[in-house]
């Protein structure tokens, strides 16, 4: 069996896990089924770009080296695959199995749940450095790409893009809620969380807690907004007007909610530990 190279700081633990329990499932993503030799859960490393829960129970982690997958809620992970810098992993519940990976010089589509990826092409986008990408939950043919230094663009066919707003030029993360048009959210280092109902006019969500650069998720059905930051994880049930702290036991870098069962939440802590909640954030396990 051929294994892929992994970051040096995780090499020893992951090599043990690979020799004991990792098997290739497809050409795109691998999964491991057991922890390291001590039985301890693995800790994530890398760039902490995106954490994405899928309807089939898998958890994906995107970073500079690609996309890793976990079948056990983030306790163990396979090596990165997909062949790209995964700044964003976007999907719609109305298009099962379809995922879009976007990032630095990367725009790819998977139609088999992330097992294989195909280049989408950038169409007429004026750049290829995508910092934030979203698929409209209720209209999955509508995509939004945020170009670093340029702002927000929109397409309905994946090729012909129209400029929407330069206001998000400095954003690192983009998310879309349910509805048509969807309410859009962008996370910036300067202004924090910004919101828009049309993509053109943006305002700061003044009550939002401080968030990490990529610590944003919006549930595609309820529209609840989650942010991860130094205080842990917080949720808004009113489109960003007010927030509830979910008492994660450490600061958080990433957060995601299960698209089919929102009581299931996952958060990547500042330590690299993946925390899990089965009761909507009232309690957490790792």
CA distances from 183 to 69, 138, 201, 244 (A): 29, 11, 11, 20
Strands 88-90, 66-70: pairing kind: unpaired
Rounded CA gap, 155 and 107, in Å?
Answer: 13
Structural domain boundaries in the chain: 44-277
> 């927030």: which residue's tokens?
243
Beta strands in 22-168 (DSSP E): 22-24, 30-32, 50-53, 59-63, 66-70, 88-90, 99-103, 106-110, 118-119, 130-135, 143-147, 151-155, 161-165
Q: Would you place residue 183 in the very low, low, confident or very high pLDDT band (cuts 50, 70, 90)?
A: very high
Position 25 scores a pLDDT of 30
Tens-digit pLDDT profile for residues 94-130: 999 999 999 999 999 999 999 999 999 999 999 999 9
Q: What is the signed CA dihedral for 19, 22, 23, 26, rounded to 10 degrees?
A: -140
Global pTM reads 0.87
* Rg, C-alpha atoms of the chain: 18
**What's the pLDDT at 39?**
52
Instruction: Return the closest-CA partner of residue 173 out of 130, 138, 202, 120.
Output: 130
CATH fourth-level superfamily of 44-277: YVTN repeat-like/Quinoprotein amine dehydrogenase (2.130.10.10)
Averaged pLDDT for residues 223-249:
97
State pLDDT tens for residues 185-199: 999 988 999 999 999
Q: Average per-residue pLDDT in the chain?
A: 88
């Amino acid at each position: 069996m051929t294994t892929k190279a992994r970051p040096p700081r995780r090499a020893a633990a992951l090599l043990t896990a690979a020799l004991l329990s990792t098997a290739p499932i497809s050409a795109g993503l691998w999964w491991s089924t057991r922890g390291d030799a001590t039985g301890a859960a693995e800790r994530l490393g890398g760039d902490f770009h995106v954490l994405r829960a899928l309807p089939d129970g898998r958890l994906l982690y995107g970073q500079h080296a690609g996309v890793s997958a976990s079948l056990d809620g983030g306790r163990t992970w396979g090596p990165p695959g997909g062949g790209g810098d995964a700044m964003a992993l976007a999907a719609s519940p109305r298009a099962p199995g379809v995922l879009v990976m976007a990032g630095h010089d990367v725009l790819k589509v998977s139609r088999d749940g992330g097992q294989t990826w195909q280049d989408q092409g950038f169409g007429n986008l004026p750049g290829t450095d995508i910092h934030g990408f979203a698929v409209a939950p209720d209209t999955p043919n509508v995509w939004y790409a945020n170009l670093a230094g340029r702002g927000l663009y929109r397409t309905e066919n994946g090729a012909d893009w129209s400029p929407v707003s330069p206001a998000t030029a400095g954003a690192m993360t983009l998310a879309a809620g349910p509805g048509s048009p969807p309410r859009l959210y962008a996370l910036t280092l300067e202004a924090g969380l910004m919101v828009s109902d049309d993509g053109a006019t943006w305002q700061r969500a003044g009550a939002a807690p401080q968030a990490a650069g990529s610590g944003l998720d919006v549930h595609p059905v309820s529209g609840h907004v989650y942010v991860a930051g130094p205080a842990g994880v917080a949720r808004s049930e009113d489109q960003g007007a007010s927030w509830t702290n979910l008492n994660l036991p450490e600061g958080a870098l990433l957060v995601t909610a299960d698209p089919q069962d929102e009581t299931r939440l996952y958060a990547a802590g500042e330590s690299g530990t993946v925390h899990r909640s089965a009761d909507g954030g009232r309690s957490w396990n790792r």
